[in-house]
Amino acid sequence: MIECQTKGARSLSYLHFFLRVVAGAAVVKSSRSMASRLGPRLIYLSSVIFLLSIFTPISESNQFCDAGISYGDSACGISSSSSSKILIKGGTVVNAHQQEIADVYIEDGIIVAVKPSIKVSDDVTVLDATGKFVMPGGIDPHTHLGMEFMGTQSVDDFFSGQAAALAGGTTMHIDFVIPVNGSLSAGLEAYKDKAKKSCMDYGFHMAITKWDEIVSREMEIMVKEQGINSFKFFMAYKGALMINDELLLEGLKKCKSLGALAMVHAENGDAVFEGQKKMIELGITGPEGHALSRPPVLEGEATARAIRLAGFVNTPLYVVHVMSTDAMEEIARARKSGQRVIGEPVVSGLVLDDSGIWDPDFTTAAKYVMSPPIRASGHDKALQAALSTGILQLVGTDHCVFNSTQKAFGIDDFRKIPNGVNGIEERMHLVWDTMVESGQISVTDYVRLTSTECARIFNIYPRKGAILAGSDADIIIFNPSSSFEITTRSHHSRSDTNVFEGKRGKGKVEVTIAGGRVLWNNGELNVVPGSGKFIKMPPYSYLFGGIDKADAKYLSSLQAPVKRSKAAT
Ligand SMILES: NC(=O)NCCC(=O)O
Ligand SMILES: [Zn+2]
Ligand SMILES: [Zn+2]
């Protein structure tokens, strides 16, 4: 059991309790002596004290309750510490490069020391982590909170989605800004507004949905002034977000010139459109039509095309939500040839197969509709193997949740089912159980795949993704001997369904510390809207190192004179 309240926090609670008792007594006494000389003034004074004592927060969880939201039974009582000094004692501290038994001392949101036997004063909150892993909080590279998509909006916003993330051990996420009518700056303003209610740190990628001089200039502003270092190109969603090869080429060149990472949703959108028409003509209108209309070959084709175009421009490429063996093998081939390609599987693709989408119950089947689709059994295992051998580099979620009422927009036509599934709360547990418990990866690999590699790729390491002196205090305490179970009843998402319903496994995130505060502690969530920070991500991550040398070599090879003999007349 984890010790949680500091002496300071306890005495604050006692003081609060005392204040309430005194003020309450004063109200009673003054009402009894109403006829006395001081009556009206005393009534006024004591009533003010009494009201103040009622509305003075005991802990931040009161603000959480004021927001009209509660998670768990005791979220509105005295819960986690708000101390700015925390000592995590006796755990196994795991970084991507090593693990060691050590204490971790935190002050004002920053890790101050990581070493054995740290001594602290009485005002420090002490968390005993003996027998447990102390790891960097998860970083989810791929989310869509409050996303306007397919005529509706994903139900988890920057508060509920982040609260769910924290309950599952994730302390930062990177969301995709969607431009407004192609305008990046209008899109960014809209997302800054959505993110005002954040209760944990976040960053932004930016989607590119049209091309002109203004967009090109706005990309520069995003990178140089707004802390965005990655741009996503949707090769699918014809008639909505989809771009063509010409735009992709322009975008790749611009990304390279800015040191920004190009990302692709790789599916052949024209062929998907054809596939959808074919299914409807055949009378296949249910959710299974979604999977049948966009088979793995279309994901493989688009992945190969994006890789070749990025190779042609010589700029790094990040392939989001790799769902099939077809796409994964294209990435493997490119990496083997020396090309800088990052592959991101998502937790739904790693642990689920397509059986759900064939369920006879529409609500059940529709909840699995996402793009690219969750594939037939076999792809999941291949993606796990690719992750464990370094072909794929990090795990995201693509958390983009629509409830069963929204999914029912497509009851007669699978093309109208909003695409997206959950995962932000479940990723850390499912990756542990699937990959570490099965012996496919080590604990240090787990940290790399769920946190460190994301921080490196998006150029915020070691501020994020590490337990080192000077890093942000985003930390989880993970009990490998405990267990988890996923249910819609107990999850923190606003959705009324969960694609991982009923999954159980070993390991449990017992404590989540974000920004140096204990926000999740043994089933109690203690979050404050507006407390999360936007994390600026600078350009030119490690993926760009040496690109200029390769370019220079290529250019000089072009300048070698070609000797031709004069043609006979
Ligand atoms: N993946 C999905 O189905 N929905 C979210 C948008 C996207 O990433 O394509
Ligand atoms: Zn996508
Ligand atoms: Zn996505």
Q: Over 198-265, what HEC string results?
A: CCCEEEEEEECCCCCHHHHHHHHHHHHHCCCCEEEEECCCCCCCCCCHHHHHHHHHHHHHHCCEEEEE
Q: 144 versus 12: which is more confidently predicted?
A: 144
Q: Is the pLDDT of residue 27 over 80?
A: no
Give the strand pairing for 517-521 and 170-177.
unpaired
CA pair distance 536, 555, nearest whole angstrom: 34
Give the strand pairing for 133-136 and 85-94.
parallel
Q: CA dist 182 to 67, 94, 158, 219, 243, Å?
A: 34, 43, 23, 12, 11
* Ligand 2 midpoint to CA 414 (Å): 17
Give the strand pairing for 230-234 and 317-319.
unpaired
CA pair distance 423, 429, nearest whole angstrom: 10
Query: What are 175's two structure tokens?
Result: 């969301």
Helices 269-281 and 296-313: angle between axes, nearest 10 degrees: 170
Taking the CA of residue 561 as centre, how many other CA atoms within 13 Å lie in the half-sphere pointing to its CB?
3
Ramachandran quadrant class, 215 (left: phi over 0; alpha: psi -120 to 50; beta: rest): alpha
CA pair distance 541, 308, nearest whole angstrom: 21
Task: State residue 65's pLDDT score.
Answer: 31
Longest dimension (CA), the chain: 127
The ligand placed nearest to the CA atom of residue 294 is: 1
pLDDT tens-place string over residues 254-309 = 999 999 999 999 999 999 999 999 999 999 999 999 999 999 999 999 999 999 99
Angle at 350 between CA 348 and CA 352, to 5 degrees: 55
Taking the CA of residue 332 as centre, how many other CA atoms within 13 Å lie in the half-sphere pointing to its CB?
16
**Which of 59-68, 304-313, 321-330 shows the lowest per-residue confidence on average (mean pLDDT)?**
59-68
Question: In which residue are the tokens 């983009």 written?
Answer: 400
Angle at 560 between CA 559 and CA 563, to 5 degrees: 125
Cβ–Cβ under 8 Å, residues 543 and 212: no
Ramachandran quadrant class, 68 (left: phi over 0; alpha: psi -120 to 50; beta: rest): left
Task: State residue 25's pLDDT score.
Answer: 34
Mean pLDDT of 377-382: 98
* Ligand 3 midpoint to CA 562 (Å): 48
Mean pLDDT of 72-81: 34
3-state secondary structure of 415: helix
**Which of 18-27, 118-127, 236-245 shows the lowest per-residue confidence on average (mean pLDDT)?**
18-27
A 10 A CB-CB count for 269 gives 23
CA pair distance 445, 451, nearest whole angstrom: 10
Q: What is the gyration radius of the CA atoms in the chain, in angstroms?
A: 27
Taking the CA of residue 505 as centre, how many other CA atoms within 13 Å lie in the half-sphere pointing to its CB?
22
Query: What are 120's two structure tokens?
Result: 């602290």
Cβ–Cβ under 8 Å, residues 401 and 409: no
* Ligand 2 midpoint to CA 234 (Å): 7
Top mutation candidate among 140, 143, 144, 154 for ligand 1, by most atoms within 8 Å of CB: 144
What is the position in ligand 1's atom list of the atom closest to the CA of 241? 9
Among protein residues, the one whose CA lies closest to atom 2 of ligand 1: 420
A 10 A CB-CB count for 257 gives 14
Among protein residues, the one whose CA lies closest to atom 8 of ligand 1: 398
Top mutation candidate among 264, 265, 398 for ligand 1, by most atoms within 8 Å of CB: 398
pLDDT tens-place string over residues 433-442 = 999 999 999 9
* Ligand 1 midpoint to CA 421 (Å): 8
Q: Is the pLDDT of residue 420 over 90?
A: yes
* Ligand 1 midpoint to CA 478 (Å): 30
CA pair distance 393, 322, nearest whole angstrom: 11
3-state secondary structure of 105: strand
* Ligand 3 midpoint to CA 145 (Å): 10
Q: Which helix (H) or strand (E) holds 428?
A: helix 427-431
CA pair distance 80, 13, nearest whole angstrom: 12
Cβ–Cβ under 8 Å, residues 355 and 377: yes
Cβ–Cβ under 8 Å, residues 132 and 181: no
Query: What are 352's two structure tokens?
Result: 């689920």
Task: State residue 91's pLDDT score.
Answer: 98
Top mutation candidate among 233, 321, 347, 369 for ligand 1, by most atoms within 8 Å of CB: 321
Mean pLDDT of 34-41: 37
CA pair distance 449, 272, nearest whole angstrom: 31
CA pair distance 476, 489, nearest whole angstrom: 23
Among protein residues, the one whose CA lies closest to atom 4 of ligand 1: 420
Q: Is the pLDDT of residue 20 over 60?
A: no
What is the position in ligand 1's atom list of the atom closest to the CA of 142? 8
Q: Where residue 59 falls among pLDDT bands split at 50, 70, 90?
A: very low
Share of the chain above pLDDT 70, in %: 85
* Ligand 3 midpoint to CA 370 (Å): 9
* Ligand 1 midpoint to CA 149 (Å): 9
| 324 closest CA partner among 365, 380, 269, 391 | 380
What is the rounded average pLDDT for all residues in the chain?
88
Among protein residues, the one whose CA lies closest to atom 5 of ligand 1: 420
Q: Is the pLDDT of residue 26 over 90?
A: no
What is the position in ligand 1's atom list of the atom closest to the CA of 176? 8
The ligand placed nearest to the CA atom of residue 420 is: 1
Phi, psi of 167 (to 5 degrees): -65, -20
| 148 closest CA partner among 191, 113, 183, 112 | 191
Task: State residue 566's pLDDT score.
Answer: 80
The ligand placed nearest to the CA atom of residue 370 is: 1
Phi, psi of 444 (to 5 degrees): -65, -35
**ipTM greater than 0.95:** yes
3-state secondary structure of 100: strand
CA torsion 391→340→537→551, rounded to 10°?
A: 170
pTM: 0.87
DSSP 116-141: SS----TTSEEEE-TTSEEEEPEEEE
**Which of 64-73, 167-176, 325-334, 496-505 shows the lowest per-residue confidence on average (mean pLDDT)?**
64-73
Q: Where residue 568 falls among pLDDT bands split at 50, 70, 90?
A: low
* Ligand 3 midpoint to CA 187 (Å): 16
Distance of CA 457 to the CA centre of its chain: 14
Among protein residues, the one whose CA lies closest to atom 7 of ligand 1: 371
Among protein residues, the one whose CA lies closest to atom 9 of ligand 1: 371
Q: Which helix (H) or strand (E) holds 320?
A: none
* Ligand 1 midpoint to CA 42 (Å): 62
Mean pLDDT of 135-158: 98
pLDDT tens-place string over residues 529-548 = 999 999 999 999 999 999 99
Mean pLDDT of 238-244: 97
* Ligand 3 midpoint to CA 517 (Å): 29
Counted residue by residue, the chain has a size of 569
Q: Is the pLDDT of residue 230 over 70?
A: yes
Mean pLDDT of 339-345: 99
Q: Is the pLDDT of residue 337 over 60?
A: yes
Give the strand pairing for 138-143 and 504-514.
unpaired
Q: Which residues line ligand 1 (CB under 6 A)?
A: 144, 265, 321, 370-371, 398, 400, 419-420
Q: Where residue 312 falls among pLDDT bands split at 50, 70, 90?
A: very high
What is the position in ligand 1's atom list of the atom closest to the CA of 234? 9
